[in-house]
Chains A and B, each alone.
Chain A
C-alpha cells in the first residue's frame, strides 16, 4: 500500500472493512478516518450493511443427498429426500382416495339397489322416462312368471339331489372307479387346503403387523404435526398481540 491512504482508494477501504490489512496499513487508514468525516461515515455505513446482511438466511431445507451406485462403477445418482405427496401418511392418502371416490359417486349419482333381479347399479341424474307407465305391466309380468320360476327351481333342485345320490352310488360300487386314486385325490385336496389356510394365516398376521407399524408411524407424525401446529399458533398469537399493541400505541 502507498504511504498515504486517499479517499478514492476503495480497494484498500474494502480490505480495511474485512480486516484484511496488515497492522501498519490498518493504522494508516485509522489515522485517515479520524481526519476524514466522509470516509469515516462511509466505512460505518458499509459495516452496517454487513451487519444487516447477517439477517438474511436461506430456508431450512431438508436435503439429505446421497450418492447411490447404479449398475456400473461410473454411473451414479443423487437421491433426494422424498417430498410432497410422499410425505403424506398412508392413512391420509386412503382418506383422500375415499373422499375422491365419494365425490365422484355423488357427482355421477351412483345408486345401488338390491332387489329380486339382484344388484342394480344406476348412474346419472336423468329420471328414467315413462317409469310409471312401464312399472304396471312389469308388475303384471312378475305375477305371471313367478309360479313358473318357482316350479323350475324346484325341478332343478330335485335333479341335482338325484344326481348326487346316483353319483355317490356309482363312486362306491362302480367297478371302473379306482378307489385308491380317489383317496389320493382327496388327500391332495386336504393337503392343499391346509397349505392355503396356513398361507392365509401367515399373510393375515403379516398384514396386521404391517398395519400396526404403519399406524404407529402415522400416529407419531400426527403427534409431531400437532405439536408443530400448537407452537405455530402460539407464535401467530404473539405476532397478533404485537400488531394489536402497535396499532393501539399512540403515535409520537
Chain B
C-alpha cells in the first residue's frame, strides 16, 4: 500500500530520512515544473526545487500539519521563486530550451498525431511561453497554480496571501492578456466553451 503524504511526514519527523526521500521523489517534478513556469529558467528552476526540499527538510520539525504537505511545499517554492525574481531584478524569462521535445512528448502519447500537428503544437507552446512572460508575477503564478497544479481558488488565495476575489481577478486578467497575445500571433483561441 502506498503511504500517504501525512504518513511519510510523520515518519520523517521521527527521523526516517528515507520516508522524506519518498516525499521528495513524489513531489520533485511538480515543484520543479512550478518553479520552471514561474521563473522560466531550467537551471534556476532546478536550484529552486532543490532548495525547496532542503528547506522543507530542515523546517520539518516545525510543520504542524495545519495545511497539506503539498501546499506547504508550494509555499516554500513560491517564496523562493519570489526571492529569485527579486534578486535578479528582471522579468522572468521563459526560455524554450532545446530539450523540450514535443515530438518526443507526442511519441509517448502514441503515433496518432501527424508531424504537421507536432510542429504546430511546438509553435503554439512557444507562443504560450512568450505570452506568459508578459504577465505580472502574481497573474502568472495564479494561472500556473490553477492550470497546471489544479489548486482551488481558496488554496491559491492562501498561498498568495490575498482575497479569493483577487485570485479570480488575476486569473481573468492574465487569461485576457494571453488571449490578446495569442490572437496577435494569429492563433485563434476560440474553443466554443469551457476548457475545464
| Chain A residues packing against B (C-beta within 8 Å) | 10-11, 13-20, 41, 43-61, 63-69, 73-74, 76-78, 80, 235, 238-239, 241-242
Q: Is B76 on the interface with A (CB-CB < 8 A)?
A: no
Nearest B residue to A76 via CB reads B57
Whether B115 is near chain A, meaning CB under 8 Å from some CB there, is: yes
Give me 20 A-to-B residue pairs in the complex whose CB atoms sit less than 8 angstroms apart, sorted by A's number. Answer: A18-B153, A18-B194, A46-B189, A49-B178, A52-B128, A52-B182, A52-B189, A53-B143, A55-B124, A58-B37, A60-B99, A60-B100, A60-B105, A61-B32, A67-B24, A68-B17, A77-B54, A80-B50, A241-B115, A242-B119
Asked if B169 is an interface residue, CB under 8 A from chain A, the answer is yes
A145 to chain B, nearest CB (A): 68
Interface residues of B in 149-196 (CB under 8 A from A): 152-153, 165, 168-169, 171-172, 175-176, 178-179, 182-183, 187-196
Which residue from A63, A69, A73 sits with its C-beta under 8 Å from B32?
A: A63
**Are B190 and A44 in contact, with the CB atoms below 8 A?**
yes
B28 interface contact, C-beta 8 A: yes
User: A49–B182 contact, CB under 8 A?
Assistant: yes
A228 CB to nearest chain B CB (Å): 10
Residues of the A chain whose Cβ atoms lie less than 8 Å from the Cβ of B15: 73
State the Cβ distance, A237 to closest chain B Cβ, in Å: 10
* Chain B residues with CB below 8 A from A20, complex form: 152-153
Q: 6 other contacts beyond A59-B100, A78-B51, with CB at 8 A cut-off?
A: A14-B168, A48-B192, A50-B196, A52-B124, A53-B128, A61-B32
Q: Say whether A17 contacts B179, CB under 8 Å.
A: no
Are A14 and B172 in contact, with the CB atoms below 8 A? yes
Assembled-state Cα–Cα distance A43/B192 (Å)? 8
How many residue pairs at the A-B interface have CB separations less than 8 Å?
167
Query: B2-10, B41-49, B65-73, B84-92: which one contacts chain A?
Result: B41-49
Given A43-B194, A52-B182, does the pair A57, B17 have CB atoms closer than 8 Å? Answer: no
The CB with the most chain A CB atoms within 10 A, among B15, B103, B124, B195, is that of B195
Bound Cα distance A58, B128 (Å): 12
**Complex: A118 Cα to B8 Cα, angstroms:** 71
Contact of B193 with A44 in the complex, beta carbons under 8 Å: yes
CA distance A90 to B179 in the complex (A): 51
Contact A242 B115 (CB under 8 A): yes
CB-contact partner of B125 in A50, A55, A63, A74, under 8 A: A55
Contact: B128 with A10, CB < 8 Å? Answer: no
Given contacts A49-B175, A66-B24, contact A56 B191 (CB under 8 A): no
Cβ-closest chain B residue relative to A62 = B46
Going nearest first, the 10 A-B pairs with the smallest beta carbon separation are: A50-B195, A48-B189, A48-B191, A11-B168, A58-B36, A47-B191, A47-B195, A56-B128, A14-B168, A55-B125
Selected from A54, A59, A241, the residue in CB contact (under 8 A) with B99 is A59
- Given known contacts A49-B189, A74-B58, is B129 in contact with A56 (CB within 8 Å)? yes
Given contacts A10-B172, A78-B54, contact A238 B191 (CB under 8 A): no
Kindly list chain B residues whose C-beta atoms are within 8 Å of the C-beta of A18: 146, 153, 171, 194, 196
Cα distance, A56 to B144, chains bound together (Å): 11
A239: chain B residues within 8 A (beta carbon): 103, 115, 119
With beta carbons under 8 angstroms apart, the residue of A11, A45, A52, A73 that contacts B172 is A11
Inter-chain contact B17/A16, CB cutoff 8 Å:
no
A80 and B46 form a contact (CB under 8 A)? yes
**Assembly CA distance A67 to B56 (angstroms):** 11
